């Protein structure tokens, strides 16, 4: 390894200090966004839980309970929704999601899998592969825009109802805590009926089929919304941790270069003193 001059060391220290300032700022921005997205995620969770409770009550009407969302089909074609970020600098966040998607594709190699991609990073990766892309949604930028998410969900529902796909799976990143996130895969459509039905005497107005036609699309949309909000929260968490790691690494580099600079400066001073003493001794002689 070549020995750096004092001037080169100082230049590297200045570069590391600027990098540290940038990564520190990005860490603070990510922390602020994490707080906001986590708050939205927590606020949306009770609504999604209430929707699940209503659906559970509606499933008690076994004799009449029927809807295409609960239809059991022979699965020949699968729609795979892959949620990644639009921007980088978030550590292994996108790599883990894409890795999980690759595992799913390998497991279902005998079936036709059509990709539904949310996020630029996933699209940039899979557009160079052989898997067909049924739909893509880019530039959502981690924002909890309910209308935009609702439009995406309607496209997925339409693909399912038109039998373009026979089942839909969703791969996204689950948010456990600010320090713990992991990619998960869950079945999105068809919906699964929970347990054995227990018919109860209840008068419904309007009829159950009308209620299901209006309720189930909203239920599926809320399911997509809460999943994406969780993924966006995990993305901000991953970016905050990545920027903190980069900031710490820059600090370590500055400390190491500062020590190296001090040693180089001390060596230069010692050399100058030796030259002065040697010259003085030579004059005496």
pLDDT, tens digit (0-9, with 9 covering 90-100), for 224-252: 999 999 999 999 999 999 999 999 999 99
* pLDDT in the model for residue 263: 87
Query: For 192-216, what is the mean pLDDT?
Result: 73
Position 197 confidence tier, pLDDT thresholds 50, 70, 90: low
Position 25 confidence tier, pLDDT thresholds 50, 70, 90: very high
> Does residue 111 form part of some domain?
yes
Question: For the chain, what is the total number of helices (H) and then of strands (E)?
Answer: 5, 5
Query: Per the structure block, which two tokens stand in for 132?
Result: 């067909």
> Does residue 8 form part of some domain?
no
Tell which residue, 284, 245, 219, 227, has the closest CA to residue 55.
219
Query: Per the structure block, which two tokens stand in for 219?
Result: 């239920």
Over 70: is that where the pLDDT of 65 sits? no
> Does residue 22 form part of some domain?
no
Position 62 confidence tier, pLDDT thresholds 50, 70, 90: low
Backbone angles phi, psi at 66, to 5 degrees: -160, 135
Split into its structural domains, the chain has a count of 1
Residue 237 has, within 13 A of its CA and on its CB side, a CA count of 19
Domain that holds residue 189: 44-240
> Does residue 57 form part of some domain?
yes
Report, in this order, helix, strand and coil percent for the chain, each rounded to 5: 60, 15, 25
> Does residue 135 form part of some domain?
yes
Task: Name the least confident of 4-8, 13-17, 20-24, 256-260.
Answer: 4-8
> Does residue 269 form part of some domain?
no
* pLDDT in the model for residue 154: 95
pTM of the model: 0.85
> Does residue 39 form part of some domain?
no
Over 70: is that where the pLDDT of 285 sits? no
Q: pLDDT tens, 72-87? A: 888 999 999 999 999 8
* pLDDT in the model for residue 277: 82
Over 70: is that where the pLDDT of 163 sits? yes
Over 60: is that where the pLDDT of 257 sits? yes
Over 70: is that where the pLDDT of 147 sits? yes
d(CA 189, CA 193): 12
Q: Is 235 helix (H, G, I), strand (E, B) or coil?
A: helix
> Does residue 123 form part of some domain?
yes
* pLDDT in the model for residue 245: 94
Position 156 confidence tier, pLDDT thresholds 50, 70, 90: very high
Query: For 6-34, what is the mean pLDDT?
Result: 92
- The enclosing domain of 232 has a CATH number of 3.40.1380.10
* pLDDT in the model for residue 259: 92
* pLDDT in the model for residue 202: 67
């Amino acid at each position: 390894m070549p020995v750096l001059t004092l001037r080169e060391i100082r230049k590297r220290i200045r570069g590391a200090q600027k990098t540290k300032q940038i990564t520190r700022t990005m860490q603070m921005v990510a922390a602020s966004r994490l707080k906001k997205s986590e708050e939205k995620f927590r606020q949306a969770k009770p609504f999604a839980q209430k929707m699940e409770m209503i659906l559970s009550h509606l499933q008690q009407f076994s004799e009449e309970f029927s809807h295409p969302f609960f239809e059991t089909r022979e699965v020949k074609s699968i729609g795979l929704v892959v949620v990644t970020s639009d921007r980088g600098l978030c550590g292994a966040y996108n790599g883990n999601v894409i890795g999980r998607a690759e595992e799913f594709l390998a497991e279902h190699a005998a079936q036709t899998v059509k990709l539904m991609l949310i996020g630029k990073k996933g699209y940039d990766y899979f557009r160079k592969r052989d898997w067909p892309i049924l739909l893509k949604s880019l530039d959502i930028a981690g924002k909890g825009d309910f209308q935009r998410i609702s439009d995406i969900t309607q496209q997925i529902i339409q693909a399912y109802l038109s039998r373009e796909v026979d089942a839909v799976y969703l791969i996204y990143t689950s948010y456990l805590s600010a320090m713990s996130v992991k990619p998960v895969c869950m079945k999105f459509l068809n919906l699964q009926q929970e347990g054995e039905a227990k018919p109860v005497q209840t008068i419904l107005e309007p009829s159950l089929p009308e209620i299901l036609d209006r309720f189930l699309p909203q239920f599926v949309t809320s399911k997509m919304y809460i999943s994406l909000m969780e993924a966006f929260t995990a993305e901000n968490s991953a970016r905050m941790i990545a920027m903190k790691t980069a900031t710490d690494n820059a600090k370590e580099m500055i400390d190491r270069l500062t020590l190296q600079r001090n040693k180089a400066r001390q060596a230069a001073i010692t050399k100058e003193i030796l030259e002065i003493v040697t010259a003085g001794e030579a004059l005496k002689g």
